[in-house]
Chains A and B, each alone.
Chain A
C-alpha cells in the first residue's frame, strides 16, 4: 500500500514549521513520529497535499522540571519519557504510560506532541493531560487540556498551529495506568489512570468516548471517604462509550469500573 503523492519539507525550528504550514495551505499536515499518520497515509484515509516534517525541530525535545510543573517538549519520544529519570521522579505515571505505548519500535519514533495533536480516542497521554489539568502550549497560545480535545481526531488546533509543549503538574505520589488490550502493542480497548495528589485522587479513562474523560464521580466518592470498590462503581456514570469489533458499549462500561478499581488498589 503506497501513500498518495504529497509535497514534503523539513522544518528546523517552530518558526519554520509554522511558516511552511501557512505557505502550504489548509491541506498540509505536520508529521512528527508518524506512527499513526503513516498507516493512515498508506490506507489513503489521509491524503494531505504537503507534509511538514518536524523531526528536526530539536528545540521541542526536552524534559524540564520547573517548581511544581513538569514541562515536556512535543518532540520528546515515548522511549525517552519512559526512561527519563526526571519523568520517573517528577511524574512517574507519565513514564509508566510511555512504556506501554505500542511496542519498542513504535516507542522509538512516536512523540508526546504527535499523540496529543492526533487526538485518537485510544491515545494515552490525552487521558493524563485531562485528568491532571495539564496545559497544551502551542506556537501561539496556552490551552487547558480539558478545552483542547473536542472530538474524535479533533482539537482546537488551527491548520497552521503546532503543539510545542505539554505542562503537567509534578505528581510523585501513588499512581497506576492499566490498559485492557488483546495484544501488548494494541491500543487500549479501555484504559484507567489514577494519580494521588495532595488534594485527593485524580482518575482518567481512555477510549470510553470520543475523547479522554476525567472520572469526576469516582474522585468525588473517594473524597467523601468511599472505598475503592464503592468509588470505582461510579466510573461508568454518564459515559457513552463506543461499540466496535473489540468491545460493546456495555462491556466498555464494565471495563471502566473494573480497571478503575484495580488501578486504585494497585496504586495505593
Chain B
C-alpha cells in the first residue's frame, strides 16, 4: 500500500507513491533512476550509498524513503553542473583517488559534507570525516590527497559551483 513521498532530488521536486518499506537508496536508484548512488555492503557499514539529506551526509540504505519526506536530497548526479565536474570529482580523478570506483560516489558525497563545514581539513580530520566509508582497492592515501586537493581548489574558488 503506497504512501505519498514529496521530496526534492538534485533540485527537482518530485511526488511519488512508495511502499513504507522502500529504502531511500532503492527509491533513488529504481524510482528516480539515479544509479550513481551504490549499494555496497547492504549492512550500513560501507558508505557507498551516502547522499546529502538537507546538507548532511547520511547512508541512504539506512533510511526509509518516506523518512526523507519534505527534505532536499543531493546525489552524486546533482553535485556538479550539467556537463561539468565538481572540484571533488576532478581531484579524485587527478589524484587517482579511485581504482574500481564502486565506493567513489559515497566517498565524494561524504567529503562534500565534510568540506562544507571545514574548508581546510587536516589529514586527521579527513580520516575522521570519512570514517563511515570503506574502500577495498585503492586504499585511503590517494583519497585523502584528493580531498585535500579539492579543499584547496574550492578555497581558491574553482570555476565549478559547489553542489549540495
Residues of chain A touching chain B, judged by Cβ–Cβ distance below 8 Å, are: 1-8, 10, 31, 34-35, 38-39, 41-42, 51, 53, 55, 79, 102-106, 108-109, 184-185
The 4 A-B residue pairs with the shortest CB-CB distance, nearest first, are A103-B132, A8-B20, A108-B56, A3-B21
Residues of chain B touching chain A, judged by Cβ–Cβ distance below 8 Å, are: 1, 3, 19-21, 23, 26, 42-45, 47, 50, 53, 56-59, 61-64, 66-67, 69, 110, 113-114, 128-129, 131-133
Chain B CB count within 10 A is highest, among A103, A105, A109, for: A105
Q: Enumerate chain B residues within 8 angstroms of A3, measured Cβ to Cβ.
A: 21, 23
Shortest distance between the CB of A199 and any CB in chain B (Å): 35
Do the beta carbons of B67 and A108 come within 8 Å of each other? no
Given contact pairs A51-B20, A106-B59, a sample of 12 additional A-B residue pairs in the complex whose CB atoms are under 8 Å apart: A1-B42, A8-B3, A39-B43, A39-B44, A39-B62, A51-B64, A104-B132, A105-B57, A105-B58, A106-B62, A108-B57, A185-B132
Q: Enumerate chain B residues within 8 angstroms of A109, measured Cβ to Cβ.
A: 58, 62-63
Do the beta carbons of A103 and B20 come within 8 Å of each other? no
Cα separation A42 to B67 with both chains bound (whole Å): 16
Q: Enumerate chain A residues within 8 angstroms of B1, measured Cβ to Cβ.
A: 7
Interface majority SS (helix, strand, loop, mixed), chain A: mixed
Shortest distance between the CB of B48 and any CB in chain A (Å): 11
Q: Enumerate chain B residues within 8 angstroms of A7, measured Cβ to Cβ.
A: 1, 20
Do the beta carbons of B20 and A6 come within 8 Å of each other? yes
Q: Enumerate chain B residues within 8 angstroms of A185, measured Cβ to Cβ.
A: 45, 131-132
